[in-house]
Amino acid sequence: MVMLRLTAEQYCKLPILIDEETCIGKTYVITGGNSGLGLETARHLVAASAECVVLAVRNLKAGEVAKNDIEKTTGRKGVVQVRHIDMSSYASVQSFVNKITAELDRIDGFICNAGLMTDAWSQSEGMETSMFVNVISTVFLGVLMMPKLKECASKFNIKPTLVFIVSVLGYIAKGEMDKSRNGVIFDNLNDQKRANMDQRYALTKLVEECAVRQFAALCPVERTGVVITMVAPGLCTTGLGRDARTFTKIMHEALRVMMARTAEEGSRTILHGLVVGEEGHGKLLSGCKIKEFWVPT
27 sits in which H/E element: strand 27-31
pLDDT score recorded for residue 179: 67
> Does 164 have pLDDT greater than 90?
yes
Q: How confident is the model at residue 250 (pLDDT cuts 50, 70, 90)?
A: low
pLDDT score recorded for residue 256: 59
Across 21-30, 103-112, 255-264, least confident range: 255-264
Across 60-74, 116-130, 173-187, least confident range: 173-187
Q: How confident is the model at residue 178 (pLDDT cuts 50, 70, 90)?
A: low
Phi, psi of 51 (to 5 degrees): -80, -35
pLDDT score recorded for residue 22: 96
> Does 175 have pLDDT greater than 90?
no
Question: What is the rounded CA–CA span in Å between residue 23 and residue 72?
Answer: 19
Alpha helices, DSSP H, located in 76-199: 90-103, 129-131, 138-156, 174-179, 185-189
pTM comes to: 0.92
Domain ranges of the chain: 2-11+18-288
HSE on the CB side for 251, CA within 13 Å? 9
Q: How confident is the model at residue 196 (pLDDT cuts 50, 70, 90)?
A: confident
Greater model confidence, 294 or 174: 294
pLDDT score recorded for residue 35: 95
Mean pLDDT of the 257-283 span: 92
Mean pLDDT of the 142-166 span: 99
Q: Check residue 14 and give left, alpha or beta (phi > 0: left; psi -120 to 50: alpha).
A: beta
Mean pLDDT of the 179-208 span: 83
- Determine contact, residues 44/271, Cβ cutoff 8 Å: yes
* Catalytic site positions: 167, 201, 205
In order of 127, 135, 173, 240, the CA distances from 20 in angstroms are: 42, 33, 40, 30
In order of 42, 117, 142, 187, 264, the CA distances from 183 in angstroms are: 41, 26, 26, 8, 42
Per-residue pLDDT of 17-58, as tens digits, reads: 999 999 999 999 999 999 999 999 999 999 999 999 999 999
The 10 Å Cβ neighbour count of residue 38 is 26
Mean pLDDT of the chain: 91
pLDDT score recorded for residue 239: 63
Mean pLDDT of the 107-114 span: 98
Question: What is the rounded CA–CA span in Å between residue 160 and residue 280?
Answer: 13
pLDDT score recorded for residue 7: 74
User: What CATH number does domain 2-11+18-288 carry, 3.30.200.20, 3.10.20.30, 3.90.1300.10, 3.40.50.720?
Assistant: 3.40.50.720
HSE on the CB side for 164, CA within 13 Å? 37
DSSP 8-state class, residue 196: -
Question: What is the rounded CA–CA span in Å between residue 206 and residue 194?
Answer: 17
Question: What is the rounded CA–CA span in Å between residue 285 and residue 165?
Answer: 10
